[in-house]
């Protein structure tokens, strides 16, 4: 079993988070009677100004919300004030009664402070997440931790209300899966940007840099971006089996099976090792022939005595505008991060060794964001690929530049969104899946554990301390209600893990106790 040895997190104050807080919607209920859908919701706005609420709809499970909702009435449109019990009605008689995808968007029209957004990226969170991820994640060498990591990513996606699913496939008897989470756009939702990284390792390597740093990185980027609306959609993908056989197995399956005509992939940012940094001279080497293919970059390396103190921004053909966007975002919002741009018009083998490659083959703009793998990190693919050798300030800066890039490219809005898929004859009250959530968190008194549609299952939960010891626990047999209260007022301040087990699956959630 993977031991729970998280490092202490640094939690932002509410005032820091509030600087960028968009309007929020809560207590959303959906009812269907005849050919009318009724939505009720509570609306809050941090700034106190007028709020615009948009209502959109499409076929259940559809990529694009293409139904005409102009006949919707009630608390919709511009000029709304905060308050409880808002209501929208929509006559859907023009459409087949086979289920709907519904979306609400609440915006106050303010500009998003990108610098404040970028500054929220937290190296302590990166370190804490990586402390869980680190460890051999190989289908033969350690399938248990490979599955734990897959669950960790999937739970993170669900917690942040992404449209989440597994792309499952067989690989020589191993039940492989790419984990896909989609943050649905508010205007051009059929255009998508992807942020990805593979989560498996070679056998015998704990894979802190390769590629745990990437997984922790895209999870942290999601945490920062999830509270906001975007004109375009964003997908966060954990690719399986990048290290297997010929390599890049999971991303090939995605490109072969998941690129559909209804959706345009506008760009891909692929994290491939983002944690190794050094100011020691002569620690950065380059592949043979690099000096001839990229003479300007090579001269800059000579001038800096071949220090491994930069992130590489690798692009090919039509990817260069995206590479320039990353370079510009770093320069504007993360000036301490040195970015080296490498643009190639030739498919060079050493630049095809990660999951961006299959997107290049399909003429989709894609970047490899990398610290250089074995050309810098001496512990590459070895038992010494551990987090103790990584630089979390550097990793934070890479994630910051990525957050700024996606904010610009996907069209961030000072808005929040809500969505649901609902069946025609099934009234829903903010449809609750069998998932676990905690609130408030952090807390100094109590934490409410909610488990939605798991309410009819036998559940067992335990709170685990920093050294892996059980602090408290309880079995809930046929609970009947979707929540329980965990008292934490007598616990020492710090970070704990809450583990919840049902007959079908396990969840792990970080808990912060602060008095």
50 and 180 fall within a common domain:
no
Residue 276: exposure state from Cβ atoms within 10 A (0-12, 13-18, ≥19): buried
Tell me: do 367 and 222 sit in the same domain: yes
Residues 247 and 182 in one domain: yes
Same domain flag for 118 and 229: yes
List, edge to edge, every strand of the sheet that includes 494-501.
Answer: 470-476, 459-464, 494-501, 506-513
Pairing of strands 494-501, 459-464: antiparallel
| Token pair belonging to 40 | 């009720």
Element (H, E) at 293: helix 290-293
Same domain, 80 and 192: no
Answer whether residue 288 is part of any domain.
Answer: yes
Question: Do β-strands 366-370 and 311-316 pair in parallel, antiparallel, or remain unpaired?
Answer: antiparallel
Q: Please tell me whether residues 350 and 489 are part of one structural domain.
A: no
Q: pLDDT band at 469, cuts 50/70/90?
A: confident
Examine residue 446 and state whether it is found in any structural domain, yes or no.
yes
Residue 122: give its domain's CATH number.
Answer: 3.40.630.10
| Percent of residues, the chain, with pLDDT higher than 70 | 90
- Domain enclosing residue 445, as ranges: 437-513
Same domain? For 164 and 262 the reply is: yes
Q: How many domains does the chain have?
A: 3
**Cβ(208)–Cβ(390) under 8 Å?**
yes
253, 261 in Cβ contact below 8 A? Answer: no
Q: Which two tokens stand for residue 425?
A: 């004859």
| Angle ∠(220,222,227) on CA atoms, nearest 5 | 120
Segment 346-365 shows an average pLDDT of: 97
pTM for this one?
0.82
Are 103 and 244 contained in the same domain? no
Radius of gyration of the chain (CA): 23
d(CA 94, CA 431): 24
What pLDDT is attached to residue 455?
56
- Residue 100 shares a structural domain with residue 132: no
- CATH code assigned at 77: 2.60.40.10
Torsion over CA: 313, 316, 317, 318 (sign): negative
| 167 is a domain residue | yes
Are the C-beta atoms of residues 512 and 495 closer than 8 Å to each other? yes
Residues 54 and 142 in one domain: no
Domain boundary among 387, 422, 457: 422
Q: Are residues 26 and 121 in the same domain?
A: no
The length of the chain is 515
User: pLDDT at residue 144 above 90?
Assistant: yes
CA distances to 321, 378, 487 from 345, rounded to whole Å, are 14, 29, 60
Structure tokens given for 484: 């329980």
For tokens 């970070």, the residue is 495
Q: Which of 105-109, 469-473, 483-487, 501-505 has the lowest mean pLDDT?
A: 501-505
Q: How confident is the model at residue 17 (pLDDT cuts 50, 70, 90)?
A: very low
Within a domain: 5: no
DSSP label at residue 489 = T
Q: How do residues 438-465 score in pLDDT, each as one tens digit? A: 777 777 777 878 776 665 567 788 888 7
- pLDDT of res. 489: 82
Would residue 319 count as lying in a domain?
no
Whether residue 11 is predicted with pLDDT greater than 90 in this model: the reply is no
Do 48 and 138 share a domain, yes or no?
no
| Residue 20 is assigned to a structural domain of this protein | yes
Distances (CA, A) of 392 to 125, 174, 276, 334, 364: 10, 33, 9, 15, 31
Asked if 357 and 329 touch (Cβ cutoff 8 Å), the reply is: no
What local confidence, expressed as pLDDT, does residue 64 receive? 97
Residue 334 lies in a domain: no
């Amino acid at each position: 079993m993977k031991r729970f040895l998280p490092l202490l997190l640094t939690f932002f104050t509410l005032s820091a988070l509030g600087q960028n807080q968009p309007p929020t919607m809560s207590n959303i209920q959906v009812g269907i009677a005849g050919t009318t859908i009724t939505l009720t919701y509570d609306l809050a706005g941090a700034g106190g100004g007028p709020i615009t609420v948009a209502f959109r709809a499409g076929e259940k499970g559809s990529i694009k919300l293409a139904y005409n909702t102009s006949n919707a009435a009630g608390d919709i449109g511009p000029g709304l004030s905060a308050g409880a019990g808002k209501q929208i009605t929509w006559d859907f008689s023009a459409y087949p009664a086979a289920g709907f995808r519904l979306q609400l968007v609440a915006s106050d029209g303010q500009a998003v402070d990108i610098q404040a957004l970028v500054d929220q990226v937290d190296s302590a969170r990166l370190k804490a997440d990586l402390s869980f991820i680190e460890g051999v994640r190989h289908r033969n060498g350690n399938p248990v931790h490979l599955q734990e990591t897959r669950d960790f990513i999937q739970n993170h996606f669900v917690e942040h209300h992404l449209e989440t699913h597994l792309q499952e496939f067989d690989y020589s008897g191993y039940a492989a899966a790419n984990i896909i989470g989609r943050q649905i756009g508010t205007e051009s939702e059929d255009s998508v940007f992807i942020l990805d990284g593979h989560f498996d390792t070679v056998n015998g390597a704990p894979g802190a840099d390769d590629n745990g740093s990437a997984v922790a990185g895209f999870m942290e980027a999601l945490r920062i971006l999830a509270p906001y609306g975007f004109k375009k959609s964003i997908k966060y993908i954990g690719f399986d089996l990048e290290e297997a056989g010929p390599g890049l197995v999971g991303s090939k399956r995605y490109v072969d099976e998941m690129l559909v005509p209804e959706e345009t992939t506008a760009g891909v940012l692929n994290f491939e090792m983002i944690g190794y940094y050094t100011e020691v001279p002569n620690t950065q080497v380059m592949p043979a022939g690099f000096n001839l293919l990229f003479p300007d970059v090579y001269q800059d390396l000579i001038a800096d005595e071949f220090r491994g103190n930069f992130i590489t921004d690798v692009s090919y053909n039509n990817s260069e505008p995206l590479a320039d966007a990353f370079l510009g975002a770093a320069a504007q919002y993360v000036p301490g991060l040195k970015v080296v741009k490498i643009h190639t018009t030739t498919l060079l083998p050493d630049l095809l060794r990660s999951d961006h490659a299959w997107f290049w083959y399909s003429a989709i703009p894609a970047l490899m964001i990398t610290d250089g793998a074995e050309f810098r990190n001496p512990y590459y693919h070895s038992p010494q690929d551990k987090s103790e050798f990584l630089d979390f300030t550097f990793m934070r800066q890479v994630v910051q530049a990525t957050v700024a890039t996606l904010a610009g490219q996907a069209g961030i809005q000072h808005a929040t969104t809500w969505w649901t898929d609902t069946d025609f004859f099934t009234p829903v009250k903010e449809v609750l899946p069998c998932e676990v959530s905690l609130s408030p968190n952090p807390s100094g008194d109590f934490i409410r554990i909610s488990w939605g549609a798991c309410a009819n299952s036998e559940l067992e939960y335990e709170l685990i301390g920093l050294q892996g010891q059980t602090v408290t626990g309880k079995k809930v047999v046929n609970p009947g209600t979707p929540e329980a209260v965990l008292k934490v007022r007598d616990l020492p301040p710090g970070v704990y893990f809450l583990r919840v087990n049902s007959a079908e699956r396990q969840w792990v959630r970080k808990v912060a106790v602060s008095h």
